[in-house]
Amino acid sequence: MTSTFHNEIKLGEVHYRLSATTDSDESLVLELLGSLDSGEVVADGRLRLPVEGGATIGKLLSRVLGAHTRLRSRQPRHANANQPWTEALDTELRTAWLTASEESSPKLIRSLADGMQRSPTAIRARLARVGCDPDVPGRELSATAAALLGGNSGVGQGKT
């Protein structure tokens, strides 16, 4: 006896249709089709496997596809991630921090991160390197604090 199960889902711009059919020789046939509204096919494939292996193969596919997704998500989200800091960027960051209005530190750090296309963690770390107190907008680090944090104190100290 043949039986078929269909399921459809739309992810982003792509419509996916998955069919699972058992045929007379006790095989499970999985067919996947992904297409755009225009009809253009962007994904297709077919697997034939023993019926009793279906659940196990489903778990295997889930693990492999999940690992692939996690690997892709490790790519930098910020355009300037891992790019070197220049003296001009250091000056821009320092000036923005020291001339900040009455804004909270986390909010200002997020704003600077968005504007400089870097992560908030990178901005916070760099603030100390350019002699700014990352906890208090508008405040420089003392010479002692700068030395402890590996930064510079005062204006015109050059890049680190």
Structure tokens given for 97: 């921090």
Cα distance between residue 146 and residue 68, in whole Å:
42
Q: Which band of pLDDT confidence, cut at 50, 70 and 90, is reported for residue 157?
A: very low
In a domain, 109, yes or no: yes
Residue 28 lies in domain: 3-73
Residue 82 falls inside a structural domain:
no
Here the CATH number for the domain that contains residue 36 is 2.20.25
Which letter, b or e, does each residue of 79-103 get, where b requires 16 or more Cβ atoms within 10 Å of its Cβ? eeeeeebeeebbeebbebbbebeee
Query: Pairing state of beta strands 41-50 and 3-11?
Result: unpaired
Residues 108-136: tens digit of each pLDDT: 999 999 999 999 999 999 999 999 999 99
Helix, coil or strand: residue 103? coil
Judge whether 159 lies within some domain.
no
Please tell me the predicted confidence (pLDDT) of residue 23: 78
What pLDDT, on the 0 to 100 scale, is given for residue 27? 87
Mean pLDDT in residue range 54-70: 85
Taking CA atoms, 126 is separated from 40, 80, 90, 159, in Å, by 47, 14, 8, 10
Residue with tokens 């997020």: 110
Q: What is the three-class DSSP state of 11? A: strand
Total domains in the fold of the chain? 2
φ/ψ of residue 102, rounded to 5: -70, 70
Is 104 inside a domain boundary? yes
